[in-house]
Amino acid sequence: MARINLLPQELKPKGYVLKLSKTLNKLALISIAILLAAAFVFLGSFIFFSQQTKASLGRQESLKSEIRALEATEQKLILVKDRIQKIGKVLNVENTTEELGVLKQIVEILPEGVSFNSVGISDSSVELEVTAPNLLSIGQFFLSIVNSQGFQKVTVTGFSYKLETGYVVGLIFF
Amino acid sequence: MKIFGRSIIRLISPNIKVMAIPVAVLLVVAILFIYLTKVGYSRVTKQISEYKLAQKTENILSGKLGLLKKVESEIADDTDSTILALPDKNPATWSISQLRLKSIENGLTMDSINVANSNSFEENINSIAIGVQITGQELAQILSFLSSLPTFAPISTTGEIQMEKGQDGGWAANTEVSIYWSKLPPTLPAIDETLNDLSNEEKTVLNKVSSLTKPTFTVLEPSGPKERLTPFN
């Protein structure tokens, strides 16, 4: 039996509209699926990270209690670090330790017959006065200074002769 | 609802009727998607940052605990050395005692010793200068004494030195030794604050400090009650 559509033709949607409608239906289904997937991803991530955070906070509490048990050690370490930091500052203060080393070097190369009269040590130089019975000893002393090559700059500040002591030479070692 | 006796639905074109449902669904999905992305993304991002912060704190705490366990056995000796090298109170008496001992060791006579007013060397570090005048027979003795000054605790720095040969052939020396002290740290840092081990530079300073000659202290032992034969004596 033939099927007869009794509805008027103007009530029937057009063909291209029907096609578009089908495509939109498919799109709607796909978008619903994407929406659900996105919701699942967001919810899953949220639950995962909140669980991880909770676990981490639990571990933190356990670590904190262990650290509190070692509070005396922590105090000592903080104290040592504090002292060392301050001692480091004090050790950097300009002092005469290096110049004392310079004086020791001079003592080592001092030839026989030459002796010190006075020594002044500051944080940048060593000033001294030596006496020698003859010019030969003075010459030997100067030669030792030159040969040692351990002094950056040496200035002769005075040269005189005294009958009772001999030759007196003033020098500054920088 | 009816207009001119006909239902509104009947008035709508069949083309629109067919399209209405999928378009409406798409619109609703789009709105929901925008809302979900906005809310969900911000919540997840916030949760991730909270997790990262918790991880960071946990790592700090874990590192701190490891460090404390590592240094637990060895830190006690270092504390004593450093506190003797830089005490929390004016160590003038310790330093004077050390100076006297060193002068005796080197066969020198300490002619005078004077202590100036204390001043602030740097923030939280105080210093005081001790003027020292010593005499001895040989320059070498004085040099040995002066060289020994940086080798004892509490730490000190030596200022200008003047040495003169006397008429009798002996030597006299004048110098100023500065000594230092500093208050102890008043509080511990927060429990979740990073705590680092000693750096190489700090270890070098610590080694230097540990090798300093420490001041000797006399411990007076308590004595028990004695029988007094004469109660008024």
Dump pLDDT digits (tens) for B74-113: 787 788 889 999 999 999 999 999 999 999 999 999 999 9
CB pairs under 8 A between A and B: 230
With beta carbons under 8 A apart, name residues in chain B contacting A27. Answer: 22, 26
Q: What is the pLDDT of residue B233?
A: 58
Q: What is the pLDDT of residues A8-29, one digit of tens each?
A: 666 677 788 888 889 999 999 9
SS3 A129: strand
| Contact of A99 with B149, CB cutoff 8 Å | no
State the smallest CA–CA distance between residue A18 and chain B in angstroms.
7
Count of domains forming chain A:
2
Q: Is B158 on the interface with A (CB under 8 A)?
A: yes
* Domain of residue A122, CATH code: 3.30.1360.100
Residue A57, judged by CB atoms within 10 A of its CB (0-12, 13-18, 19+), counts as middle
User: Cβ–Cβ of A35/B23 closer than 8 Å?
Assistant: no
As given in the structure block, the two tokens for residue A122 are 């500051």
Task: Look at A8-12, B191-195, B213-217 and tell me which has the smallest mean pLDDT.
Answer: A8-12
User: Cβ–Cβ of A122/B209 closer than 8 Å?
Assistant: no
| Contact of B137 with B166, CB cutoff 8 Å | no
Q: What is the mean pLDDT of chain B?
A: 88
Q: What is the pLDDT of residues B17-69, one digit of tens each?
A: 888 888 999 999 999 999 999 999 999 999 999 999 999 999 999 999 999 99
The amino acid present at A2, given as its one-letter code, is A
> Helix H segments across chain B?
8-11, 14-71, 75-85, 92-105, 139-148, 200-210
What's the whole-number mean pLDDT along residues B144-165?
92
Flag whether pLDDT at B4 surpasses 70: no
User: Cβ–Cβ of B201/A88 closer than 8 Å?
Assistant: yes
Q: Say what angle helices B139-148 and B92-105 make with each other, to 10 degrees.
A: 150
The amino acid present at B205, given as its one-letter code, is V
Q: What is the pLDDT of residue B31?
A: 95
| Contact of A75 with B188, CB cutoff 8 Å | yes
Residues A44 and A58 grouped into a single domain:
yes
Residues A57 and A78 grouped into a single domain:
yes
| Residues whose CB falls within 8 Å of the CB of residue B53, separated by 6 or more in sequence, listed in order | none
CA A63-A64-A67 angle, to 5 degrees, is 90
CA A145-A146-A150 angle, to 5 degrees, is 70
With beta carbons under 8 A apart, name residues in chain A contacting B200. Answer: none
Host domain of residue A106 = 97-173
Residues A148 and A163 grouped into a single domain:
yes
- For residue A39, the chain B residue with the least C-alpha distance is B36
Looking up tokens 């940086």, which residue turns up? B150
Handedness of CA A90, A94, A99, A100 (dihedral sign): negative
Under the banding of pLDDT at 50, 70 and 90, the label for residue B194 is: confident
With beta carbons under 8 A apart, name residues in chain B contacting A122. Answer: 160
Flag whether pLDDT at B166 surpasses 70: yes
Flag whether pLDDT at B221 surpasses 80: no
Q: Is residue A7 part of a domain?
A: no
Residues A51 and A120 grouped into a single domain:
no
Q: What is the pLDDT of residues A108-163, one digit of tens each?
A: 998 988 999 999 999 889 999 999 999 999 999 999 999 888 888 899 999 999 88
Looking up tokens 């610590």, which residue turns up? B206
User: Cβ–Cβ of B40/A46 closer than 8 Å?
Assistant: yes
Q: Is residue A85 part of a domain?
A: yes
Q: Is residue A8 part of a domain?
A: no
In CATH, the number for domain B78-183+199-210 is 3.30.70.60
**How far is residue A66's CA from residue B214's CA, in Å, rounded to a whole number?**
35
Looking up tokens 């001041």, which residue turns up? B215
Among candidate residues A67, A93, A119, the one where a domain is terminated? A93
User: Cβ–Cβ of B202/A45 closer than 8 Å?
Assistant: no
**How far is residue A92's CA from residue B231's CA, in Å, rounded to a whole number?**
61
Residues A88 and A103 grouped into a single domain:
no
pTM of the prediction?
0.76
